[in-house]
Amino acid sequence: MKEWYDAIKEAQSVEKLEEIRISVFGKKGVLAEKFAKMKNASDEEKAQIAKNLNTHKSSLMNEFTAKKITLQTLQLQEALKAEYIDVSLYGSKSSAGALHPVMETMDRIVEYFSAMNFAVKTGTMVEDDFNNFEALNLPKYHPARDMQDTFYFRDEMLLRTHTSPVQIRTMMSTKPPIRMIAPGAVFRRDYDLTHTPMFHQVEGLLVDEEGKVSFANLKYILEDFLKYMFGDVEVRFRPSFFPFTEPSAEVDISCVFCKGSGCRVCSKTGWLEVLGCGIVDSNVFEAVKYENVSGYAFGLGVERFAMLIHQIGDLRSLFEGDIKLLEQFQ
């Protein structure tokens, strides 16, 4: 039997040990064979042999169990060593997506006005002449209707040229008071350094009882909004003209590049135009059949905001899907 004690002692792996177990304790194993041979012996011998074999059987089993535990422990240690991860090493770079700078800017704008209790309205991109022009006091002869500017479909349908038609849709379907903004894509036939055929605007409209809404209200909220977007800038209102507002103004901020001292971006003026606004023209209220109300409205280009915030020189680069550019906005 000594050879089996040695075999157990020398086994190098759990698999080898298992082979030995089968050879020793198995149905056709050594012990079984020796017990079988016993039947030819005399009764006295039988007792002696059986005793002897049972002693070996239990001590071989003890050896086997002890060895098995040792080998399993070793195997576990090796596995742990092989699978060890050095958490202090640098990992391989995995790049995640990020919001497009235009959408990120739009989100910030929406965030500001949502906090000011303005509801978000969307309207439709394919509009009709009434909502996009007529009701906004842009009569048939107005230059904005030129084929040069507008993408037309048949039957006086068109791609909206601004988000102002959402004002009309909202007023046509809701009673005053109204506090809304309309963020969204708009379309014009234009393509150069500062124009793309599709871009984004946010329109704002506030309507309340007659005499309740003043230019001072408009000035206050826009100044606060522009400081939220651009930080500590100066804001100025310049008289201007829009068909849907009277009086109208364009709003400038002090140049974010040169801090107002004059540079290429602000054409040496120290100011950057960022939005249009005004007191809603009475013709607009008439078109939507609102009476005894007053209101203000404003509209801005989101790409222009994004370009000024991130100091991007060419508007078109925002739409080329260039990963090298977009990666910088993670």
Residues that bind ligand DAH (CB under 6 A): 162, 164, 203, 242, 245, 276-278, 297-299
Are 303 and 318 in contact by the 8 Å Cβ rule? The answer is yes
Residue nearest to ligand DAH (CB): 299
Helix (H, G, I), strand (E, B) or coil at 228: helix
Give whichever of 101 and 301 is closer to ligand DAH, judged by the CB atom: 301
Give whichever of 161 and 254 is closer to ligand DAH, judged by the CB atom: 161
Find the shortest distance in angstroms from Cβ 249 to ligand DAH. 8
Find the shortest distance in angstroms from Cβ 264 to ligand DAH. 24
Quote the tokens at residue 132: 């996009």
Find the shortest distance in angstroms from Cβ 210 to ligand DAH. 19
Give whichever of 164 and 254 is closer to ligand DAH, judged by the CB atom: 164
CA 217 to chain centre: 34
Find the shortest distance in angstroms from Cβ 212 to ligand DAH. 18
Give whichever of 183 and 276 is closer to ligand DAH, judged by the CB atom: 276
Give whichever of 8 and 302 is closer to ligand DAH, judged by the CB atom: 302
Q: Give the span between the Cα atoms of 170 and 152, in whole angstroms.
A: 23
Measured CA to CA in angstroms, residue 328 lies from 306, 315, 322 at distances of 13, 16, 11
Find the shortest distance in angstroms from Cβ 265 to ligand DAH. 20
Find the shortest distance in angstroms from Cβ 164 to ligand DAH. 4
Give whichever of 71 and 123 is closer to ligand DAH, judged by the CB atom: 123
Q: Tell which residue, 140, 125, 290, 265, has the closest CA to residue 205.
A: 290
Find the shortest distance in angstroms from Cβ 204 to ligand DAH. 7
Quote the tokens at residue 259: 């801090």
DSSP 8-state symbol, 321: -
Give whichever of 137 and 254 is closer to ligand DAH, judged by the CB atom: 137
Q: Give the span between the Cα atoms of 303 and 99, in whole angstroms.
A: 14
- The alpha helices in the chain, defined as continuous H runs, are 2-10, 14-25, 30-37, 43-82, 101-115, 129-132, 165-173, 215-230, 282-287, 302-310, 323-326
Helix (H, G, I), strand (E, B) or coil at 12: coil
Find the shortest distance in angstroms from Cβ 97 to ligand DAH. 31
Q: Tell which residue, 199, 203, 181, 182, has the closest CA to residue 190.
A: 199
Give whichever of 132 and 254 is closer to ligand DAH, judged by the CB atom: 132
Judging by beta carbons within 10 Å of its beta carbon (0-12, 13-18, 19+), is residue 146 exposed, middle or buried? exposed
